[in-house]
Amino acid sequence: MRLSTVAALGQREMADALRNRWFIAYAGAFVVLSVALALLVINSAGYGGISGFGRTSAGLVNLVLFLAPLMGLTLGAQALANEREQGTLGYLMAQPVSFLEVFLAKFLGLAVAIASAIVSGFALSTLTINALSGGEGMDTFFGLTGLTVLLALAALSVGYLISSVSRRTSTALGIAIVVWLALVLIGDLGLMGTAVIMKLSPGELMGLTLLNPLELYRIASIFLLRDSLELLGPSGLVAHDWFGGSISLVLGALLMAWIAVPLAVAYRTMARQEQR
């Protein structure tokens, strides 16, 4: 693999992302809402137990749970299908490049663009709070930024998988929206319903919860903010029992797996199709 090729194609992908109206809308919404949330928290400081960064972080978790997966899924879903539909992928493959280079460059380019949007949103809200109320809880904020980037990249990876099996961009986008709804709304409510109907044990419930990257993020964020999972009730105790002091590592590794596995499957699928 030639790094110069990956760099050239990755830069083109980043430039494309910056011209993509979906990306601009997501990044803009994320940055504006993050700063608005920080200002809201500062204005209402003193009413809760947590203040400054802690409260902003708690609010941001809920914002991120909606926006970051939507951003990753839809941008990822467009990436390969659009390239194939426009004929640009076929043209690139006629150049002295390998499919792995094109695939990785596209992923890395988009990943950097998405990560930059997230870091910008978090950084601006950090600066806002720092300027207005002091700098407590900064480490939490940095941790949350890292977790959010991981969640967005996991969603991007799933978006890539959707893109790899879709012939048309519109189909890929439709599937991405359905998957987003399933993860954000149906996954949560469905799990609650399943737990009641099937009378799931706390262990089974925690096991199923960990299958959803959004829940992984939510649990990891709670652990980051509270340093314990008591808030989750018996399931939280099960998690503590299973993973002990390595909860952060395990949750981080599971989020990483959500990046690596769909990406590997997408690559395998696309590489086969490209050789047809």
Q: Which residues bind other proteins (CB under 8 A)?
A: 4-5, 8-9, 12, 15-16, 19, 86-88, 90-98, 274-276
CA-to-CA distance for 263 and 241, rounded, in angstroms? 31
CA-to-CA distance for 234 and 202, rounded, in angstroms? 6
CB nearer to other proteins: give 199 or 276: 276
CB nearer to other proteins: give 99 or 243: 99
Three-state DSSP at 171 gives helix
| Smallest gap from residue 265 Cβ to other proteins (A) | 21
CA-to-CA distance for 153 and 114, rounded, in angstroms? 8
The amino acid that residue 2 corresponds to is R
| Smallest gap from residue 20 Cβ to other proteins (A) | 9
CA-to-CA distance for 130 and 38, rounded, in angstroms? 10
DSSP 31-91: HHHHHHHHHHHHHTTTSSS--THHHHHHHHHHHHHHHHHHHHHHHHHHHHHHHHHHTHHHH
The two tokens of residue 93 are 């493959």
CA-to-CA distance for 214 and 267, rounded, in angstroms? 23
CB nearer to other proteins: give 81 or 151: 81
| Smallest gap from residue 89 Cβ to other proteins (A) | 9
| Smallest gap from residue 15 Cβ to other proteins (A) | 8
The two tokens of residue 218 are 């939510």
CB nearer to other proteins: give 93 or 256: 93
| Smallest gap from residue 80 Cβ to other proteins (A) | 14
CB nearer to other proteins: give 98 or 248: 98
CA-to-CA distance for 170 and 24, rounded, in angstroms? 19
| Smallest gap from residue 81 Cβ to other proteins (A) | 14
CA-to-CA distance for 229 and 187, rounded, in angstroms? 20
- Find tokens 């954000």 and name the residue: 184
| Smallest gap from residue 22 Cβ to other proteins (A) | 13
CB nearer to other proteins: give 258 or 267: 267
CB nearer to other proteins: give 93 or 231: 93
